[in-house]
Amino acid sequence: MKFHFQPKYFLSVIYFAFSISGYSLAVETDSLSIRNDEIVKIDSIRIEGNETTKDFIILRELTFQMGDSVSGKMLRFNRERVFSLRLFNQVEFKIEKTPDKNILVIQLTESWYLYPLPLLRIQDGDLKKSTYGINLSYRNFRGRNESLRAAIGFGYDPFYSFNYENPALSYEEGIGLLFSFAYVKSTNKSVNAKSIIGEDFTNKMYLQSISLSKIFNQFNTGFLTVGFNYIETPYSVLGITASGKNIDRVPFAGLSYIYDSRDLKQFSENGLYTFVSFYHNGFSIDDISYNQFNIDFREYRKIVNDFSAKWRVKYQTAFGNVVPYYDYSYLGYSDHIRGHFQDVREGKSFILTSLEVSHPIVKEWNFHIKLPLLPEKLTSARIGIYLTSFFDTGDAFDTNSKLAIKNFYYGYGLGITFLFLPYNAFRLEYAVNENGQGEFVIGTGFSF
């Protein structure tokens, strides 16, 4: 989401942030009494405060077992992994020493699990192209990290959706389940499709899929997905649809894989993340047969003192018989080049790269406030404030054209990120593109 606002206000916030960054505002709560390089044997584990969440949901995030000797650094890493479940407002690790054993005490404060959230999407920065509605989420409803989500939207691109996720369908075998269904009345996003038809048009889409996941260990997860999409357009034109008819009926199947060794997944300082997927669509029904391949690689590293850096390369492509415009790759919608936030580029493929350096103003502050009529779980959060600098570049292109660095467009700038964990983030950013044009962006969510 992007809004324009006065530069003087943004610059005032930047100036204030830099002016206080030298002070001791990094209120970091760390109840662990051992140093990073100190080794301790874990003879027993006791979990406290999980009124709803089952013990095994927490224990399977740990990279060690009872009887192992671990360092303080590893314990802090595991604390962040447990917090990354997004089920708790606060997670603390403590070592309780008795004459004959060391007990790791995991103290938890559970978050609020049922809440509605308003949603607003503004297309092309035009309020007349707004989609608005509500997203209802019920997380951890049986204490097994299960979630139910339902959403409905009105306005420019009306939709409704439902999904159910159970990452512990069979805990012993590491099997999970995800089911999703959505109806979307989506305005065409392709400039090429609009030029062929001569006007804007709308696609009606019914999308459904079911996935089985397999957790191999704490860092590696695989997925098998099957589904069926129904896409209806006003025109029977090859390319507008994959079949050349006004209705595409597209069964699909695919495999995907995630490697994730990050500490705090929402805003990491160390670790790697890799997502790879391959899907086949159509199976030659109505001559529909094309493939989609995606890879997203990210690295997170501390560099010096409290500075940390992260970078990513994301590439996706579609290839095969006829790739319909509704499955083209787009920059400017869900993926952006900051500095060209509203600029749309399309092709059968795109590549996006980003580099970001951050420094904490407030690294970790466990915030609590008591308000009448509201449970404390709703008024508690782990707050962080970070100064960021960033550089984005990329391009969308067709598979029959050469990838040329000279065609890449880019943007760079500064920003402030406000973390409200485990829930979300809020970002204020100013970006300048290669033409010297600047833009302010207000964003929700994490950059990557």
With contact defined as beta carbons under 8 Å apart, do 60 and 118 qualify? no
First to last CA, the chain: 15
CATH number of 31-110: 3.10.20.310
Cβ-contact 408, 402 below 8 angstroms: no
CA distance 279 to 276: 10
Long-range CB pairs of 302-309 (<8 Å, 24+ gap) are 302/269, 302/270, 303/357, 306/26, 306/359, 306/360, 306/363, 307/357, 307/358, 307/359, 308/269, 308/270, 308/357, 308/358, 308/359, 309/355, 309/356, 309/357, 309/358
Per-residue tokens: 234: 């006003």
Question: Which residues are CB-neighbours of 213 under 8 A, at least 6 positions away?
Answer: 167, 175, 176, 177, 178, 221, 222, 223
Return the structure tokens found at 111. 């978050």
Residue 350 has a CB neighbour count (10 Å cut-off) of 21
Domain boundaries, the chain: 1-29+338-448, 31-110
CA atoms within 13 A on the CB side of 62: 17
Per-position b or e across 90-118, b if 16+ CB within 10 A of its CB: bbbbbbeeeeeeeebebbbbbbebeeeee
| Residuewise pLDDT in 10s, the chain (448 residues) | 444 444 444 445 444 444 544 443 445 556 788 899 999 999 999 999 999 999 999 999 999 999 999 999 999 999 999 999 999 999 999 999 998 999 999 999 999 999 888 988 888 778 888 999 999 999 999 999 999 999 999 999 999 999 999 999 998 899 999 999 999 999 999 999 999 999 999 999 999 999 999 999 999 999 999 999 999 999 999 999 999 999 999 999 999 999 999 999 999 999 999 999 999 999 999 999 999 999 999 999 999 989 999 999 999 999 999 999 999 999 988 899 999 988 999 999 999 999 999 999 999 898 888 888 788 888 889 999 999 999 999 999 987 667 778 889 999 999 999 999 998 899 999 999 999 999 998 888 899 9
Residues in CB range of 24: below 8 A, 6 or more apart: none
Contact 171, 208 (CB under 8 A): no
The span from the CA of 345 to the CA of 400, in Å, is 16
Strands 44-48 and 102-110, sheet pairing: parallel
Which residue from 213, 212, 211, 186 is spatially nearest to 201, judged by alpha carbons?
186
Residue positions counted in the chain: 448
Give dist(CA 223, CA 181) in Å, integer: 18
Q: How far is CA 96 from the centre of its chain?
A: 36
CA 256/CA 334 separation, integer angstroms: 20
